[in-house]
Amino acid sequence: MRRAAIVLLAVPLLMSGAFARSSGQAATAPDWQKVVGLWSLTVEADSYSIYLMLSLELGEGLVKGKMTEQSGMIPEVPLEAIEFDNENLKFVITAPSPPDGLNKVWKASFKVSGDKLEGAFFNEELGIAAPVSGTREKKL
């Protein structure tokens, strides 16, 4: 009896679309041309700045990327789990990090507007969020 009452209550909700997606529209495919290129990034970490180069390339429908530190102190690292929703760029890198120089996972989240981006790198293990700003130097 109880199960029948639950089913009877659920049917009108399902028919009304209460459990459907609110927008009712499929997600728009990313326009990778908005982010493909060579980006100069500045990371603000405590009282100093770190200067990075971010490279994003489109090939065969896939986006690949890598990041390097401008002075060469940090080796080139590939980007993983790259996502872009035509406004927000996200990816993950694994790179040598202070204080011990061991590889740590960093998540990046940036809002892109034209040839500028702003956001942060996050490391859950260290509990750090470092602000980042960047400019696209060259479209690829």
Q: Is 32 helix (H, G, I), strand (E, B) or coil?
A: helix
Could you tell me the pTM of the whole model?
0.78
Q: Per-residue pLDDT for 107 more than 80?
A: yes
Q: Give the CA diameter of the chain.
A: 72
When pLDDT is averaged across residues 79-86 and rounded to a whole number, the result is 96
Going from the N-terminus, what domains does the chain have, and what CATH number goes with each? 32-138 (2.40.128.120)
* Cα–Cα–Cα angle for 33, 88, 65, rounded to 5 degrees: 55
With beta carbons less than 8 A apart as the criterion, state whether 56 and 138 touch: no
Q: Which is nearest to 85 in space by CA: 17, 10, 26, 15?
A: 26
Q: Per-residue pLDDT for 9 more than 70?
A: no
